[in-house]
Amino acid sequence: MAGECAACGGKCCRWAKGFWNPSMLTKKEIEAIRKLTGRDDFYTRDQGHFVMKNKGRGNINCIFLDESSRMCPIYESRPLECELFPLDIKMDGGKLVWSLCLKCPAAEKAVKDAGIREDFERMAKELDAVVAKKYPKESIMEFATFFDHESEEIKYLKICESKIRL
């Protein structure tokens, strides 16, 4: 998938018109990004959560997306949501499930290709342990319920149930 990530031009950081899905940030992530960049103007509060800002003035791309290279200058300190993309943890019937954001070209292929879908399912199952170890349950719950919606431009494909228990 790495080759496809480099080739897509940062679709995960460029959002569809009328649909800005800012990455939720933990205080730890804010500190890491602040340390890396020396900036303090990259986040705001929305619905009681810290979230990444967009560029503003009609540009809804992530505040850090380099418009010319389409690369991420904070890649080493990117938030959980960015790190997991195109995988996403969502709530479904009171349980956590792993889903794929079909805005990602690699994820789109999983709709038609069972082998690719199985690869994403394997990654999701491996990430369960990493996410559970790295983030407190409260952060996972916030992440799973924050901006939990689809739009005409953004669709999700349910992959598997998470083993993380809240």
2-11: pLDDT as tens digits: 556 666 777 7
pTM over 0.75: no
Q: How is the chain split into domains, by residue range?
A: 2-77, 83-161
pLDDT at 77: 87
Per-residue pLDDT band at 148 (split at 50, 70, 90): low
Q: What is the dihedral of CA 74, 9, 53, 47, to 10 degrees?
A: -110
Q: Write down the mean pLDDT value for the chain.
A: 80
Give 32's contacts (C-beta < 8 A, 6+ positions apart): 77
Give 112's contacts (C-beta < 8 A, 6+ positions apart): none
Q: DSSP letter for 100, please.
A: E
Cα–Cα distance for residue pair 43/25, rounded to 1 Å = 8
Per-residue pLDDT band at 130 (split at 50, 70, 90): confident
